[in-house]
């Protein structure tokens, strides 16, 4: 009996027919059919990737729209098969140029960031944070790799690193998605709502960085629609104060 069938048995799925969709970088996706229903089983071989399970649980607890988490084990999750859904569809590349879809995406990010601010308020849960990569050692690596080590900018950064780091650490944090693209998008078939899935890169950070990540992938018109619906002046960094 292979690992997917063992996991499905543990999840209580009866008489499953299971087929591998893809397996990459220690993460495998299976399409599952059982008693007339269709599911997706996602299996994590690497312990660090199992953080996605916790991330699903966090979002569900906070009431942030996600795919229903139908079951989970210590290294796998069972989800709805969107391709068989009457309510949702998978994202498509043209969604990145559609202002109405951009508005729907903005509504999801507003919920994520507003509830994320409250969730992180007064606590520092161990989550992925892109700013953790901003270290003195990494700056030195970048200088070397880009062949710019002689540029006085790096000297200025080195001399002022503690101040730069303290200002980064002082920025208000919220939950951030960090991995926006149409391949991670789910849209209602009415096009009135949308949300992201695949939460392996979910973490904490600045809402500004998340918004920039989204709008850089959208067409100009769609990006304008996103910003308008989100209601955020991108020159302001204190998103938590704005949302409260």
Q: Exposed e or buried b for every residue in 55-87, given b needs 16+ CB within 10 A? A: bbebbeebebbbbeebbbbebbbbbbebeeeee
Helices (H), strands (E): how many in the chain? 9, 10
Three-state secondary-structure class, residue 30: strand
For residues 240 and 167, what is the distance between their CA atoms, to the nearest angstrom? 16
Range with the poorest average pLDDT among 51-60, 66-75, 166-175, 181-190:
166-175
Residue 6: per-residue pLDDT: 82
Residue 233: per-residue pLDDT: 56
Q: How confident is the model at residue 14 (pLDDT cuts 50, 70, 90)?
A: confident
User: Which runs of E-coded beta strand occur in the chain?
Assistant: 17-24, 27-34, 37-44, 69-72, 76-80, 88-90, 174-176, 185-188, 194-196, 203-205
The β-bridge partners of 18 are 32
161-180: pLDDT as tens digits: 999 999 888 888 899 999 99
For residues 106 and 119, what is the distance between their CA atoms, to the nearest angstrom? 19
DSSP for 192-234, written as a single string: S-EEE---TT-EEE-HHHHHHHHHTTS-HHHHHHHHHHHT--T
CB-based contact 41:18 (threshold 8 Å)? yes
Q: How confident is the model at residue 242 (pLDDT cuts 50, 70, 90)?
A: very low
pTM metric for this prediction = 0.85
What is the average per-residue pLDDT within 203-223? 93
Residue 105 vs residue 12, higher pLDDT:
105
Residue with tokens 């591998």, as numbered in its chain: 20
Residue 130: per-residue pLDDT: 84
Any idea what DSSP says for residue 128? B
67-120: pLDDT as tens digits: 989 999 999 999 999 999 999 999 999 999 999 999 999 999 999 999 999 998
112-159: pLDDT as tens digits: 999 999 998 877 778 888 888 889 899 899 999 999 988 999 999 989
Domains of the chain: 3-85 (3.30.200.20), 89-129+173-243 (1.10.510.10)
Tell how strand 37-44 and strand 88-90 pair up: unpaired
């Amino acid at each position: 009996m292979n690992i997917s069938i063992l996991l499905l048995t543990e999840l209580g799925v009866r008489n499953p027919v299971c087929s591998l969709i893809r397996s990459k970088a220690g993460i495998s996706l299976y399409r599952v059919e059982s008693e007339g229903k269709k599911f997706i089983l996602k299996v994590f071989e690497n312990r660090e990737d199992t953080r996605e399970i916790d991330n699903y649980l966090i979002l569900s607890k906070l009431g942030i729209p996600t795919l229903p988490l139908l079951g989970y084990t210590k290294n796998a999750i069972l989800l709805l098969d969107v391709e068989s859904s009457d309510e949702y569809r998978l994202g498509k590349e043209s969604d990145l140029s559609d202002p109405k879809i951009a508005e729907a995406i903005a509504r999801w990010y507003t919920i994520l960031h507003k509830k994320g601010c409250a969730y992180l308020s007064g606590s520092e849960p161990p989550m992925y944070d892109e700013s953790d990569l901003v270290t003195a050692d990494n700056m030195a690596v970048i200088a070397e790799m880009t062949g710019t080590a002689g540029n006085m900018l790096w000297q200025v950064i080195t001399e002022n690193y503690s101040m730069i780091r303290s200002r980064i650490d002082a920025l208000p944090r919220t939950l951030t998605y960090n991995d926006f693209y149409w391949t991670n998008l789910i849209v209602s078939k009415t096009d009135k709502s949308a949300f992201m899935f695949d939460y392996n890169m979910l973490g904490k950070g600045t809402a500004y960085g998340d918004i920039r990540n989204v709008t850089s992938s959208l067409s100009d018109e769609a990006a304008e629609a996103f910003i308008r619906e989100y209601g955020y002046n991108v020159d302001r960094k204190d998103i938590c104060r704005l949302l409260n």
